[in-house]
Structure 1
Amino acid sequence: MFVDIADSTMLYERIGNAAAAAQTQQVLAHLRHLVEDNRGGVIKSLGDGLLAAFPVCDDSVRAACAMIDTQDRHGLRLRVGIHYGTVIEGVVGDLYGDACNVAARVQQIARAGEILATQALVSGLSPDLRNRTKPLSNVAMKGKAAPIRVHQIRTDDDTEDAVESTTLGFSMATDAGDAMVTLHLSYRGQEIAMSRALPRVTIGREDSSGLRIASRQTSRQHAVIDFTRESFLLTDHSTNGTFIRSGGSPPVVLRRDSTKLVGSGLIGFGAEAQDESQDHVIAFRGELA
């Protein structure tokens, strides 16, 4: 299991380094207790997250649900990814191997406040816990010949209704030699310019979103765009998917997957993007260095 404190960078900016570090350590100590209460062990801390291991699948899910159900106590939301598989024990108790890589990838595509697990993990659950899972999409993972099926694990606090999705997410590659340094986003008269000065924008129906999309087709926490390694990376966290149209290329559909934004075009959050006037569509335009 990988668990991460969502938007920890924003926490440091909001309350300062000392206070944020103290709050982060308090949360991690709480998570450690929940792991140990469910017969698991914390392998290592990861700055603003943990790597943990459990003897059986049920224990990992019970620990994850307890984490999500108590996250509001600290005013922070968590992302949890769980996978079942063989690992290699390294020095000082560290773990390595494909199972760790898959669990880390699953955690990365989880929304804030969400638990995601692989088919391998879900297959090992007892019937009562398996009934709390909902299949999402097949996710392509680096080093894997075939995509991996991902499931959402519902907790006691889950309330959002979502459409079932089984569509594979594809990534849009680019060989462009020039790096984009500014990404302009336009939505209903609102303009946002992303750059090193504004390296992350959250997008969704929530009022707290960096770019709020007023559409019923859009999830509360739909997607995030990050400026990283001289590229703008869009990651979908939704159930209905993100639809990208750029130039004359066929539309790219993302479901729990990521892609680089290249050039200019339209992005539909929850449905296909036909034109900029639709309430779920934003326009994007990149500026080259």
Structure 2
Amino acid sequence: MFVDIADSTMLYERIGNATAAALTQRVLAHLRQLVEEHKGGVIKSLGDGLLAAFPACDDSIRAACAMIDSQDRFGLRLRVGIHHGAVIEGVGDLYGDACNVAARVQQIARQGEILVTQALVDGLSPNLRERTKPLSNVAMKGKTAPVRVHRVRSADDADDAVESTTLGFSMVTEAGDAMVTLHLSYRGQDITMSRALPRVTIGREDSSGLRIASRQTSRQHAVIDFTRESFLLTDHSTNGTFIRSGGSPPLVLRRDSTKLVGSGLIGFGAEALDESQDHVVAFRGELA
């Protein structure tokens, strides 16, 4: 299991370094206690998260649910990813494909969400298996076949719908080109991303960095991060994200990521046909 405090960088900016560090340590101590209460062990801390292991699939799900149930106590949101498989045990760490898959699953979880793999679901007792809902087949680096991902149901499944297979693509620039500025335009609102503004959350929620006023858009639909001299869009949605750039065929993301290159349109929840549509954002990147 990988568990992460969502948007911890923004937390430090919002409440200050000392206060955020103290809060983070309290949260991690609480998560560690929940892991141990459910027969698991914390392998290591990850700054704003933990890597933990459990003797049984049921134990991991119960611990994850307890974590999500307690997150409001701290005013934070967590992301949890769990996979079942063999690992290699090192000194204070675990290695192997199972760890890589669990980490990837945690990365694509939305705030307040538990995502698990088919391998984990297959190991659950019937009553806990009923709490899972299949989402998408997620393409993962280094794996020849997509990995089936499920969501552990919560009390609030209002943003629920049947999802389909993830298609994983990668749009890359010519060698040596590095985008350092990304301009986003939506209904008269313009946002410029760069090192000074390295993350923008996108969705229907009022708290989103870029709020999309469309019923087709999920509350926590996607996030764009500036990392390694490129802009990475990660979809967290129900209906998917549709990217149209130049003369290339439209790219469809569902619980997957891609680099934004050049200029074009992004449809949050449906295909992007025209910039005037209420779910469509125009983007334009500038190279160094």
What's the TM-score once normalised by structure 2's chain length? 0.98
Tell me whether 1:160 sits opposite 2:181 in the alignment.
no
What's the TM-score once normalised by structure 1's chain length? 0.98
Contact 2:173 2:261 in 1 (8 A): no
Number of the residue aligned with 2:232: 233
Number of the residue aligned with 2:21: 21
Tell me whether 1:53 sits opposite 2:45 in the alignment.
no
Contact 2:38 2:62 in 1 (8 A): yes
Number of the residue aligned with 2:30: 30
Distance 1:173 1:281 in 2: 19
Distance 1:66 1:57 in 2: 15
Distance 1:243 1:173 in 2: 13
Number of the residue aligned with 1:278: 277
Distance 2:45 2:166 in 1: 32
Contact 1:237 1:256 in 2 (8 A): yes
Tell me whether 1:148 sits opposite 2:136 in the alignment.
no
* 1:161 CA displacement: 3.1
* 1:175 CA displacement: 3.7
Tell me whether 1:216 sits opposite 2:215 in the alignment.
yes
Distance 1:244 1:160 in 2: 26
Number of the residue aligned with 1:5: 5
Contact 1:122 1:130 in 2 (8 A): yes
Number of the residue aligned with 1:103: 102
Contact 1:137 1:168 in 2 (8 A): yes
Cα root mean square deviation, aligned: 0.9
Counterpart residue type for residue 72 of structure 1: D
Tell me whether 1:118 sits opposite 2:117 in the alignment.
yes
1:130/1:159 Cα in 2 relative to 1: closer, same or farther (>3 Å)?
Answer: same
Contact 1:162 1:240 in 2 (8 A): no
Counterpart residue type for residue 68 of structure 2: I
Contact 1:6 1:79 in 2 (8 A): yes
Consecutive unaligned residues in structure 1, runs of 5 or more: none
Counterpart residue type for residue 48 of structure 1: D
Contact 1:169 1:256 in 2 (8 A): no
Runs of 4+ in 1 over 6 A off after TM superposition: none
Number of the residue aligned with 2:248: 249
* 1:158 CA displacement: 2.5
% same residue:
84
Aligned length: 287
Contact 1:244 1:253 in 2 (8 A): yes
Tell me whether 1:62 sits opposite 2:69 in the alignment.
no
Tell me whether 1:139 sits opposite 2:132 in the alignment.
no
Consecutive unaligned residues in structure 2, runs of 5 or more: none
Contact 1:58 1:125 in 2 (8 A): yes
Q: Deviations over 1:251-275 (max 9, x none)?
A: 0000010000000000000111110
